[in-house]
A and B are shown apart, each in its own frame.
Chain A
Amino acid sequence: MAFDVDRIREDFPILARKMNGKQLAYLDNAATTQKPAAVLEAMRSYYENSNANAHRGGNALAEQATDIYENARKRVARFIGAEPSEIVFTRNATEALNLSARFCVEQMGAKKVLLTEMEHHSNIVNWQLAAKGKASIKYVKMRDLGGICKEDVTGLGADSVFSFTHASNVLGAVNDAALLCRLAKKAGALSVVDGAQSVPHMKVDVHKIGCDFFAFSAHKMLGPTGLGVLYIRKELAGLLEPVFGGGGAIKSVQLSGTSFARAPQKFEPGTQDVAGAVGLSAAIDYLKKIGMGAIERHVAALRGACVESLKEVGGVHVYGNGSKTGIVSFNVGRLHAHDIAQIASDDGVMLRAGHHCCQPLMKAIGASATARASFYLYNTKDEAQQLAAAVARAKKVLS
């Protein structure tokens, strides 16, 4: 099927709206993406026709809800090359990364945590919390803005865990996750991958990557907010104990103690977000229909066009050159990123400005804040132009 962006845009009702009387150009996709009608309809249809409490009840409706929930899990598993039993639904990628940290430090006895300075705060703060008094933390530095070099990944051992981002939300740089996980494995260390920025943009196969844990979020890939995914390699999933306890995650409960259900149920206590899982499943169907390869090409072309038109504005500095995930972080002379984003917003262009939850990375690139445009499948070259025009106006207004 030919990639037809006008046709795709028709599937996203919000894209037709105006902001301040200007055509909306939504360029904050690395923060969260818009939802196609198919996702909204799937969730609505679930609530209208099949809503019941999955994995409970034994009534026919509850069984239907259970089937729907488990089918969603199967689709998610297939999408990232995992088995369904390796997929745990969480609240978001952040929760998935927090669980990973606790599993590695509290249950698997990791004494050394290796992170990178590219990480989002959600893959730093979780480790700082889990490691307190139990493990030490070190950070791999970047040599340039292209990602982590394998030569710099040192000091891993059998008592280590290496946790790193697959794709940077600030630079768009993509790390070679398979290579880095091989390094960890060779050293006998555990590996955790933050895939929040990669899964929406490229074909990911967790078994080929060879990681122990892999986290991502539904809302950054056309799905609903409130749902994340944690992949746990099945050999580990069997050994690990739940961090949270409650109903639905157990085999039997006695006053003296509890025996837990199998993975993944043991990691999902309490009533689950079935509608969210349905939404994610519909989002995956949508992405597959368009094709991940086609999305990647479209987004890379948009990033190229955006960088070109920003160059024409003059005085714009773009950080990094990763094009796969459609991220353009930039500054304009000595102007403040907040002012750029505010003026762009007045012109209908939604950017993000600030430190992007990556203060250590910002320090490494020597900027206190950047403005960031991030593209996805429904964005157009016209929107890249609209951004450039807004940046040009900001320059004029502020200087």
Chain B
Amino acid sequence: MNEGMYRENILDHYKKPHHRGKLPKPCPQGHAVNPFCGDDITFYLKVSKEKVEDASFDGHACAICTASASMLTDEVMGKGAEKARAIGKERVLELLGVSPGPTRLKCALLPLKAFKLALYSHLKKKMGEEEKKEIEEAGE
């Protein structure tokens, strides 16, 4: 059987996502939508003393996108803001353990975009051009 992209780790995160739900307001949030398929992810953060103390996500998305969001909440938890900021496309694909084609790549990267938007709304900084370019393709 060709397992394709639906490997055990992805399915585990999809079926039982970690940190799904909202964090108490007010908190930094990032919202990203893939207009092609309607994937819709909001990322919530709690940052104090420049450290990510809590992270969660909510929304409606496909398995790849949901798993990516779930893994990303684990990944950023407890990291310093600067370290969390350095997480990019490569790391997300490493976590997923698959190399999706161009269409599904958008699904995989949409949570990263939502996370970065949340983080930058906290940092009150503008995203660097390189960083922007990397997640721009993920959606609106």
Contacts and interface: CB of A to CB of B under 8 A. Distances in A.
Given A21-B2, A336-B63, A398-B63, A355 B37 contact: yes
A185 to B, nearest CB: 37
B4 A336 contact: no
B107 A338 contact: yes
A338 B6 contact: no
A359 B140 CA distance: 15
B38 A368 contact: yes
Contact of A369 (B14, B15, B37): B37
- Which of A342, A343, A359: most chain B Cβ within 10 A? A342
Interface string B16-57: 000000000000000000011111100000000000000000
Contacts of B105: none
Contacts of B40: 368
A389 B118 CA distance: 41
Contacts of B107: 338
Nearest to A338: B62
B79 interface: no
B77 interface: no
A397 to B, nearest CB: 5
A339 interface: yes
B109 interface: no
Interface string A350-380: 0001110001001000001100000000000
B37 A20 contact: no
B61 interface: yes
B98 to A, nearest CB: 11
B2 A20 contact: yes
B70 to A, nearest CB: 15
Given A338-B107, A339-B63, A397-B11, A368 B37 contact: yes
B9 to A, nearest CB: 14
B87 interface: no
A21 B103 CA distance: 22
A397 B64 CA distance: 13
B60 A368 contact: yes
B37 A343 contact: no
A397 B6 contact: yes
B37 A346 contact: no
A354 B2 CA distance: 23
Interface residues on A, range: 20 to 34
A286 B56 CA distance: 57
Contacts of A343: 4, 6
A336 B14 CA distance: 11
Nearest to B100: A342
Contacts of A368: 37-38, 40, 60
B5 interface: yes
Contacts of A339: 6, 62-64
A398 B38 CA distance: 18
Contacts of B61: 336
Contacts of B35: 355, 359
Given A368-B60, A398-B14, A342 B38 contact: no
A71 B2 CA distance: 49
Contacts of A359: 35
Given A343-B6, A397-B6, A353 B11 contact: no
Given A336-B63, A368-B60, A397-B11, A354 B6 contact: no
A394 to B, nearest CB: 9
A337 interface: yes
- Which of B15, B36, B61, B107: most chain A Cβ within 10 A? B36
A348 B15 CA distance: 25
A354 B36 contact: yes
Interface of B: 2-6, 11, 14-15, 35-40, 60-64, 103-104, 107
Given A21-B2, A345-B4, 16 more contacts: A336-B39, A336-B61, A336-B62, A337-B37, A337-B62, A338-B37, A338-B64, A338-B107, A339-B62, A339-B64, A342-B4, A342-B5, A342-B104, A355-B38, A397-B6, A398-B11
- CB-based closest 5 A-B pairs: A368-B38, A336-B62, A338-B62, A346-B4, A369-B37
14 contacts: A336-B39, A336-B61, A338-B37, A338-B39, A338-B62, A338-B103, A338-B104, A342-B5, A355-B36, A359-B35, A362-B38, A368-B40, A398-B6, A398-B63
